[in-house]
Structure 1
Amino acid sequence: MARVWRTKQIERAGVNAFRAVMESAGHIVQEIDGGNDYGEDCYLSFTHLGQRTGDIAAVQIKSGVKYRRSAGYAIPCGKHVDDWMRSRIPVIGVVHDPEMRMLYWVNLTKYLREGFAQGKRPRSVPVSEAATLDRVGIDLMVRDVRNFIAQDYGRPQAPLTFRMALSQELRKKRYERQRFFMEAPPGGRPIPHFVSEANFLERYPKFPEHVVNVGFYVLVLLVSAMMGPGLFETARSTYGVFSSVLWLLCFYVTFWFLISVAKVDSNRRRAKWMRRGADFMLFSGWYFAIGVYFPTAPWPVPEIVQVIYASSIVSMVQAVLLYGGMHYVSDELSRRRRFRAVQRVVAADEQGDEGAVSGNE
């Protein structure tokens, strides 16, 4: 069976894309039979307001990524230089990028004539990335080619509308910006406004973590200090002035003990209950601090409730500090005993190895 070549499919994709774009804009595309292809793939008849203008251009279509260059695209001239330059109708070059799904164009006849006027015979014609055949780009291409035809026949040029000029300038700026970022080094271009901050964080990588920790402790300290007067009045309902000061001190010490130990305890379940105990002390402290200290509190606290709370806090502090403290001290002593036992085993093994080596000697 006949083989379908990949290159042929790519070429047909370019012709089909050009035909679809131009016909959607109302112009007429007439393909040239492949056996009669001498540097042109089709003819393009321009229309205006649904009427043919009589202006015609030949079109050479190249399709594929192999026509890409470091900046834009290029159409090789080969043996068609003289044909394109001396053509009585302009020959338009179109490049179809199948990956970008874009069409780009250039006036081959115009470029080659200008080059020959300067004594040049180019081997390829560059195609700018800004010369796209999109909705606005088609209008610019039609105007440029029709003006080129009008100059040859001495007819007046079509005026450049404000919309076309503005769109052309915006497209030029957009492609310049794209090229700027495409030519960036690996990783992209640095943003000058944040270079010094990035250098500081590379030098001190733990700084954000320290800021968060310090901010948390400062916030908790402020919250604790703000509810201090109300808690002192709560303790005064049961104890004297000196005992109330000790009660308030034990309240804060227990609260900070629960927070700090919960962060380092390897037993997740026990650490969770310690955090819950700290949360209870914090929210209950605020409840009593606001209800007792402010005369117009939204929730006035009865004196009997203050007495029960003050007494229960004392029992909680004793349980946490005595039981919790002794438990962690016992764990530390057990850890040290296990560590010393491991050291003795390692030392004995090392001595045994040395004795075996000396015996062999």
Structure 2
Amino acid sequence: MAKVLATKKTERAGVNAFKSIMEAAGHIVQEIDGGNDYGEDCYLSFTELGRRTGDLAAVQIKSGVKYRRAVGYAIPCRDHIEDWTKSRIPVLGIVYDPEMRACYWVNLTEYLRRELSKGKRPKSVPVNEEAILEGEGVDDLTKALRQYISETMGEGGKSYRGVRGAINKAIDERKHRGEQHFASAPIGGHPIPVFEAEADFLERHPNFLPRLFTILVYLIMIVTHAAMLPGLYEAAGIKYGDFMRVSWLANYYGLIWFLLMIGRKDSHRSRAAILRYSAYVVMCSGWYVAMGRYLSPPPWPVSADFELSYLAAIPQVTKLAVILIGGHYLTLEFSRRRRIAKVRELRAETRED
């Protein structure tokens, strides 16, 4: 049987949640076929007293906790700035949080036009966590979008002005030529016969390369740590006694494990990468000290000042990492619980009304 990806379920949950909310309020939601999705997922047609008003908005729906920020949410816009600002109808941004089971909204066109007029080119559009699409929030969205449509109908034409305009025009023309080049290619693109067998194997075993890479990484880390242990133990003897050597080694390996463990579990990619790279820096520095002292003759001279500083710093860095990083993630957890409490409170008020 075919497997339904979790990401697909989350995407559909966001579309279904938005559609259910707006249709319950009497408005009309028309989905766009996935093959024709170029930055919008559906169209929203507003109604009043059972009649269509003629006001129309395109809707971009993002589903998942990855769009959550420390305060509110954010919708990436780097690839769609031109589409959303040139649009003759406003583009509404929706973020669906599956843990909160709530939708949050923002007028993408309004925000991006305002930022571009200031000479800024944002990478994402912030979404206020107060702009929840429940109860009175639906009326707030309807009033705001209809008022914006009445004030800006017909805007969105693109012009090239000044040096920046000349650069943007050259970029747009180059993109257009590239699109024409790919459009003239045969169906499916140009084949590469040399790698057809390899491509067939990887299609049959899609997890082969990721698993192979993971196994190689673990093997390298195990062998590296085993080779480092004698040298680190000898180096630690410069500053510490027998018992403290063991304590220092526990701090060293514990710090690496702590950073890698959190980096692996954190769903925020950039933050997880920083933690993993920090662990690699600590690991490589230890390897530099260990191999330079343990091997005879040493492959490279190890500075005595660096060695002493490194030995003294590891226990302190371990303590700070546990306190600061642990405190940061504890703060994020409290923020998540605060969001849940706020959503529950708003829903309770809506039910009472």
Report the TM-score when normalising by structure 2: 0.44
Higher radius of gyration, 1 or 2 = 1
Could you tell me the TM-score, scaled by structure 1's length? 0.43
